[in-house]
Structure 1
Amino acid sequence: MNSFDSPETAQRLLDAWKAMREGKLKFPPSLQSHADELLAAPLTASGLVDTKGMSRETVLVATNFGAALLIQRGETLKDKIHQPTIAMDEVQVELFALFSSLFAALTGRSVDLVKDEDEIKQRMMWRVKYQPDVFANSVNQVIEELSEFYNRHSINIYQQAKCFGGMRLVTGGQRRFGPSALNAVRITGLYADTQLIPDPIYPFISSDLNLNAKYLQLAIQLFYILHLRPLVDAKLPVPAVFIFPSFEETLERNDAHTKLGLEQLAIRLISPICHGQIQSLEELFDYSRKQQTAFLDALMPSGLFVPPGGKPGIQLSADEAASQYLKELEGIRSSPILDQMKRAPTGPLLLNGVLERLRPQYHLFENSSELGAQALLSQPVHWHYFEKIAQANARDLRSKNVISDQALQTLQAVQDDSLSWLADIPVTTLVQLISNNEHRWLREELNKYTSQLASTGPIDTNEMIKEVSHGLASLVQRQRKSLKDIELKYAPKKAAVLTGSIIGAGLVASAVMLPLLSPLLAVGAPAVALAGAASGAFIGYSKEKIGEAVEKRHAGQSMLGVLATVRPS
């Protein structure tokens, strides 16, 4: 295992190693022997320079050159950060406009007119078959525009993501932004102030993700993230959602701090199930291969491996787990990568599966810390790993300066399957609710139902789900009572209008039928009077009915009204 004084030393060595291989750095002739030694050094499993075969002098020389490169890169970065930019809400609007253009270039259709993933696939297959040149040119053009946008704004967007106040959350724990992530954002928007969302499109533009049918997967990501466009176009004073580049692939490729952090996390979490001292990823893979039976016997009951699409707590044999893992990657990973995985022994294969689960979790912890936001996840399996990592690192699940235990547990509760109906609220309606600060009202109301539970000590998740469900049911009942009160309020007025008018009309009708009585009623023109009485009744009734409808409409547009509309009966 390498022994670095600090992540900074590891970073400088890596920078020098890469710069020499790319021809961007040359040692003077007097130091050529050190250059040869550095070039000959391999990389470790975590992607750092392996110093075991290097002399101390070469490490020192390479580190000094790496420090100079770091200073140079820092100056370039400083220039980027301080470039004058347009308002950040305008930048977000521009980003989503580019997303929309790219989706249209990929499918030949606006996202609003596409219903599901199957239609995306069919449309793209048709364009590739019948309009290959148009498809390629239009897609490449928008991708160039998007690349240029990221070059101009990505650093500033990330810096801006650090500046929000209120209840700010950062989502993550997964590589893709799909239906579950979208539903989580829509539900959490009913409660939180700002949700910081790692840009799911940026990795497609900045990195090679080794994907199969890359453009199809890109279009699917665009399809789901574009559902949030009304929240962005609204330019709310406090943005409900804010998309930022997480730089995950770039950091994993180039940043020594990230490489070391991922390696240390893996060792801390996985080494306890291995016999002997494990101090590096190489040793971890070596153990999983040479001691495969012992490794798998300890891994499967530990809960550390959950295959894609799987749920925590379900016991599988190692062979079943490997089969499901590979099956879920069909059509997702590139063929060369998938073929390589199929040839791997079961121990290293499942170890790789655990590492793939840990990577997005590591970045979520990092983003939470960097952005000063509470980490939030959308699926039970991601919470499962999040909690395991927190335990292994002796870290709290919540950011104490951002959110209370009660609020975090409430957010977890509203994402339970039993409350999935909350995601049925249209995004356009969510915009109106947030514009009127209804999300803060709901937060305060739910707190009333959960505060007693929170005050008794550690909060049980199932108990919190019950309290939140009860609270939402009570609020919906309050709304239904409010509508009933509105009906009762107007009922006497409508009755009075109709009764008075009907009596008048009835008397007039009698006078018409009995002409001898008309002088006593002082009615000179019975037919005209009858018409006037009838029309007056209808006008009076209509005014009361309109008043009732207006009050009901206002009530229906409130948070209570929306909840009552979407909640299953």
Structure 2
Amino acid sequence: MATSFGAALSIQVEKQLKENDDQLLTSMNEVQVELFALFSALFAALTGRAIELVVGLGEIKERMMWRIEHQPDLFAKTVNQATGELGEFYNHHSINIYQRAKSFGGMRLVTGGQRLFGPSALNAVRITGLYADTQLIPDPVYPFISSDLKLNAAPLQLAIQLFHILQLRPLVDARFPVPAVFIFPSFEEPLEQNDAHTKLGLEELSIRLISPICRGQIHSLEELFEYSTKQETAFLEALMPSGLFIPPGGEPGISLSASEAASQYLKELEGVRSPHVLDQMKHMPIGPLLLNGVLERLRPQYHLFENSNELGAQALLSQRVHWHYFEKIAQANATDLRSQNVISDQAFQTLHAVQDNSLSWLANIPVTTLVQLISNNEHRWLREELNKYTSQLASAGPIDTNEMIKEVSHGLASLVQRQRKSLNDIELRYAPKKAAVLTGGVIGAGLVASAVMLPLLSPLLAVGVPAVALAGAASGALIGFGKEKIGEVVEKRHAGKSMLGVLATARPS
């Protein structure tokens, strides 16, 4: 990996202010396309293979290990070059990308609450894309370029991040007038290291959330760590039932002893943190270790709240554990979970509901299909349709999350049923016409013959029989039947590509 990861944030700001006039002329759609092209080039440099040809994470690791062992010089050269080009891009565009992220209208959401962009975040984006206008996504690659994350096998972890974020490339390449997704650098690592306001904000949030479980007055992080060390028993007895510590991979509500929680915490970091950092953590007393775990949960949440305020977007999370911390922080800060000027309570609760595990089948919809739906504005249609099912619940007062999940699930099931009725209606509408032009058992030949006579429609029917083989079979009646059948199939194809059709296909029987 390259050892120089770009200029400091302050240098970036100074340089980009000078270049503002030039960059205003650059379409942000094109900038996003360029960013994803650089992501793709870096992934290919790391793995030696284009993203489209890699099937999973296991293949990524195997290919990288092979390249490091058999092509170390070529590996280093290509990765350094791709990293350098991406670093130059960030130096040139990152500030303007962030500024542009503030300007979107419509239903705009900002994701976050976690350090990495993994499968759960990807699925959340795919699901929410069925409903929202724009999803603002913190760039998961930027931290690798701008900071030392003290990770184990950093190139491998970088390649994994690239693999997941590149699944969204069709949404970027579509160049929608209103971007469905927009990747922006949130500058989390540089701000935590260099910005006094960020450091103070993180400290105040930590004290506000954790100090109530401590006996006595706590005014700083130093005092928090001192208390967790010197009053370890009291600290742990209050911490574990509070729900403030949940180890990576854990879920809210699971009861663990302090020693079990510490063991799971360290186990989850094996292979992720650098050996030096992990060794230091293993030698920490349990009190400070679990306090550190809580702080690690709070940092991305703090940045999510900051991004939500700065960008004028609704914060959205993808995992129940992240919602758990989001709600605790909102309570501690006496703030609302939703941005009042961005989204209604009904829409917010609907978005929360579609992330429930019972509706995880929505993530089965391919990104390429999502592109087609968004291009036809069907995400706005779905938003309006679901509002019809949830409006009565919203008008009755405060919305219970479980009730909203039931209403959204019922609404989706009703829409799927509507699609099935629509297909049945198409069949019934064409049945008399087909019966009028055809009797007997040569339906298949007539259908294929008509496809031959109307070759522009044959792809819709997946017909590949040579015309010469059917030259004598296509009577006038057969052709008449075939035209009616083609009309039926075309209508069904169009129906299947609609939002209703896609939902019906994705939903388990």
Check whether TM > 0.5.
yes
Compare CA radii of gyration and give the structure with the larger one: 1
**C-alpha distance in structure 1 between counterparts of 2:143 and 2:297, whole Å:** 17
1:501–1:536 CA contact under 8 A, matched in 2: no
> 1:542 matched to which residue of 2?
482
Alignment match of 1:245 (pick from 169, 185, 202): 185
| Secondary structure of the corresponding residue to residue 475 of structure 2 | helix
Unpaired runs of 5+ in structure 1? 1-69, 503-530
The alignment of Structure 1 onto Structure 2 pairs a total of residues equal to 472
Q: Paired residue for 2:464?
A: none
Which whole-Å CA distance do the structure 2 matches of 1:442 and 1:315 have between them?
A: 39
Give the aligned partner of residue 17 of structure 1. none
Q: Deviations over 1:123-161 (max 9, x none)?
A: 100000011111110000000000000000000000000
Contact persistence 2:353–2:408 (CA under 8 A): yes
Instruction: Note if contact 1:177-1:200 (Cα within 8 Å) is conserved in structure 2.
Output: yes
The structure 2 residue matched to 1:364, chosen from 299, 304, 311, is 304
- Give the drift of 1:115: 1.1
Q: 1:479 aligns with which of 419, 425, 429?
A: 419
Q: Could you tell me which residue of structure 2 aligns to residue 291 of structure 1?
A: 231
Distance (whole Å) between structure 2 residues aligned to residue 261 and residue 144 of structure 1: 33
State whether residues 365 and 502 of structure 2, in contact with CA within 8 Å, keep that contact through their aligned partners in structure 1: yes
How far apart, in 2, do the equivalents of 1:424 and 1:71 lie? 42
User: Structure 2 residue aligned with 1:79, among 18, 21, 24?
Assistant: 18
Quote the offset at 1:86 in angstroms.
1.7
Counterparts of residues 177-192 of structure 1 (less than 5 Å): 177-192=117-132
Change (3 A) 1:501 1:357: closer
- SS at structure 1 position matched to 2:182: strand
Q: Is the 8 A contact 1:106 1:215 kept in 2?
A: yes
What are structure 2's unaligned runs of at least 5 residues?
1-8, 443-470
Q: Do 2:97 and 2:185's aligned partners in 1 also have CA atoms closer than 8 Å?
A: yes
Work out the CA distance in 2 between the residues paired with 1:501 and 1:219. 57
Report the 3-state secondary structure (helix = DSSP H, G, I; strand = E; otherwise coil) of the residue aligned with 1:242: strand
Q: For each residue in 1:303-333, what CA deviation from the matched residue of structure 2 results, as whole angstroms up to 9, or x when unmatched?
A: 0000000001101000000000000000000
Distance 1:264 1:347 in 2: 20
2:69 corresponds to which letter in structure 1? Answer: K
Counterpart selection for 1:462 from 395, 398, 402:
402
Q: CA deviation at 1:534?
A: 7.0
Amino acid in structure 2 at the alignment position of 1:410: T
Q: Distance in 2 between matches of 1:174 and 1:417?
A: 18
Deviations 1:60-89 (A, max 9, x none): xxxxxxxxxx99997555325444352110
1:316-395 mapped onto 2 (5 Å cutoff): 316-395=256-335
Separation of aligned partners in 1, 2:490 and 2:15:
59
Does 2:83 correspond to 1:143? yes
Equivalent AA in structure 2 for residue 305 of structure 1? F
| TM-score, normalised relative to structure 1 | 0.81
Q: Deviations over 1:179-211 (max 9, x none)?
A: 000000000000000000000000000000000
Partner Cα distance (2:396, 2:282) in 1: 51
Partner-residue secondary structure (3-state), 2:338: coil
Query: What's 2:505 paired with?
Result: 565
Q: Distance in 2 between matches of 1:377 and 1:221?
A: 18
Normalized against structure 2, the TM-score is what? Answer: 0.91
Q: Does structure 1 residue 421 correspond to structure 2 residue 374?
A: no
Aligned partner of 2:336 among 396, 407, 420: 396
1:27 alignment partner in structure 2: none
- Rounded to whole Å, the distance in 2 between the matches of 1:445 and 1:112 is 35
Q: Does 1:165 align with 2:105?
A: yes
Match of 1:121 in 2: 61
CA spacing shift, 1:227–1:74, aligned 2, 3 Å = closer
The answer to whether the Cα contact below 8 Å between 1:80 and 1:155 also exists between their aligned partners in 2 is no
1:488 maps onto 2:435 in alignment: no
Q: Percent identity?
A: 81
8 Å contact 1:169–1:373 — kept in the other structure?
A: yes
> SS at 2:61's partner residue?
helix
CA contact (8 A) 1:81 1:155 kept: no
2:69 & 2:440 partners in 1: Cα distance? 74
Q: SS of the residue aligned with 2:109? A: strand
Paired amino acid for 1:168: R
Deviation of 1:537 after TM superposition, in Å, equals 1.4
8 Å CA contact 1:501, 1:537 repeated in 2: no
Q: Deviations over 1:405-425 (max 9, x none)?
A: 111111111111111110010
Q: Secondary structure at the match of 1:272?
A: helix
